């Protein structure tokens, strides 16, 4: 089992309470205003994604930042078709609730957010799902901290 070297741990770090607070108080948001986020806030979120770790340092990702509401809604409709098809083979648990949500008129997987950042994983690399999830978490925490 690996344990961090105490010499490299900064127990007196003034940023630790802020980081822990962001982790503990973050929530999933599913209702947005029509207002775009500021350019400076978007830049800070972009910077947070750059600092996400990745397996073997491969950084198997790209991002698309969409500020035009029509594009995410079009993409959502495309993804909904794929998700519905995938759920045909599933049953039990939250599946029925999720299936009902997917067929709700006007439903968007992006909840009609005015700004959408899509993380695109490069599947040729070893762990794209994990790496992209780490990147998403960095951006989520940065967004919450703003």
CA–CA distance, 40 with 12 (Å, rounded to integer) = 30
CB 115 within 8 A of CB 66: yes
For residue range 127-136, list pLDDT tens digits in order: 788 888 899 9
| pLDDT value, residue 42 | 93
Q: Indicate whether 44 pLDDT > 90.
A: yes
For residue range 57-110, list pLDDT tens digits in order: 777 778 888 888 777 778 888 888 888 887 777 666 667 777 788 888 888 888
pTM: 0.71
Q: Which fold has domain 30-67+114-146?
A: NADH Oxidase (3.40.109)
Any residues with CB less than 8 A from the CB of 25 and at least 6 apart, and which? 144
């Amino acid at each position: 089992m690996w344990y961090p070297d105490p010499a490299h741990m900064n127990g007196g770090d003034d940023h630790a309470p802020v980081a822990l607070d962001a982790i503990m108080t973050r929530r999933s948001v599913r209702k947005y205003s029509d207002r775009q986020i500021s350019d400076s806030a978007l830049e800070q979120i972009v910077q947070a994604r750059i600092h996400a770790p990745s397996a073997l340092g491969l950084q198997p990702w790209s991002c698309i930042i969409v500020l035009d509401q029509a594009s995410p809604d079009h993409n959502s409709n495309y993804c909904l078709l794929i998700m519905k098809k995938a759920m045909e083979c599933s049953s039990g648990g939250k599946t029925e609730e999720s299936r009902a949500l997917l067929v709700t008129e006007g439903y968007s997987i992006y909840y009609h957010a005015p700004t959408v950042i899509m993380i695109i994983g490069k599947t040729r690399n070893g762990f794209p799902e994990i790496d992209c999830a780490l990147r998403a978490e960095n951006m989520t925490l940065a967004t919450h901290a703003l």
